[in-house]
Structure 1
């Protein structure tokens, strides 16, 4: 497995991985925006054939007040099912977090995760040291899961 920064030609593979795994789906324009604005914060995991099997899409927070501490945000992370439990999500997270801290001096990183996603919560809390900062009610209405109302934990780490 190889972890490397994203390139524009990776975007279709990232989108395919997203569509296969997640209810939160994004337009190609949104992927391109991340790739062009924060090229050093998003990464892909590729197999020995160069096929994208996972990705992390990350950015710096744009909504923070001018005097606020800079912080990063993980927009999306996804690993194809047959490549899970290999440590790829952890590697992608660590790579992105280190880039946020080194390049942008991020004081912390935030992300949203559905409360029902126990595997992801375990990774973020137990392995990566994130803490639950808030609960966002009706998160799935925001992410497009029709007919489902679920809450998301807002996690944060230093």
Structure 2
């Protein structure tokens, strides 16, 4: 039987094989470590009876920048839950591990009286999208070029605090602006940096 426990720092060195999945977004060790230290209750691992780590979820609480009309909703919805990463070992998929981790995450945020949970997922990751939809998540917006090789969806799940589904208002079909422009800017700056470095090296 699969058991859940809080993420321990040494778990960072136990889930390399899980991250081999090309649809799993890989972050730096520093990013994972920051989530473990800042939100220990929102980071969990699933462990098989033999002690093997079979999956993990990393989450956080994000401050809402703006909400609603006349500022009233802004006062209510000060923050929301966010799934930074969810990944399951390929050998343990379709066994309910992902559902177990996601439901545990939801319950914790219900206790914290958050209003909703959001996450980002690749458009081509249809299996993950189907799982999220079965858990009640709704596609909120389409983010063009959110990933280097794919568009992304922002998906949201209203929690029991959000009786009227306020978090789903203003759903958009496409968001190009900030996400795609920001990534293109990073690529341009990276190219310029490489050229500058090469020019300096040639002068030495």
Q: TM-score, normalised on structure 2?
A: 0.68
Q: 1:17–1:53: 8 Å Cα contact kept in structure 2?
A: no
Give the whole-Å Cα distance in 1 for the aligned partners of 2:18 and 2:89. 9
How do residues 14-93 of structure 1 correspond to structure 2 at under 5 angstroms? 14=15, 16-21=16-21, 22-62=23-63, 64=65, 67=75, 69=77, 70-93=79-102
Closer, same or farther in 2 for the Cα pair 1:78/1:24, shift >3 Å? same
Q: What is the aligned partner in structure 2 of residue 96 from structure 1? A: 105
Deviations 1:89-108 (A, max 9, x none): 00000101111221x32100
1:129 and 2:130 are equivalent in the alignment: no
List alignment gaps of at least 5 residues for structure 2.
67-73, 159-204
Q: Number of residue pairs matched?
A: 148
CA shift for structure 1 position 10:
1.4
- Is the counterpart of residue 114 in structure 1 residue 117 in structure 2? no
Q: Which has the higher contact order (CA 8 A, sep 6+)?
A: 1
Shift of 1:5: 1.6
The structure that has the greater radius of gyration is 2
In the TM superposition, structure 1's runs of 4+ consecutive aligned residues that sit over 6 Å from their partners are none
**Aligned Cα root-mean-square deviation (Å):** 1.7
- Paired residues of 1:17 and 1:78 also in contact (CA < 8 A): no
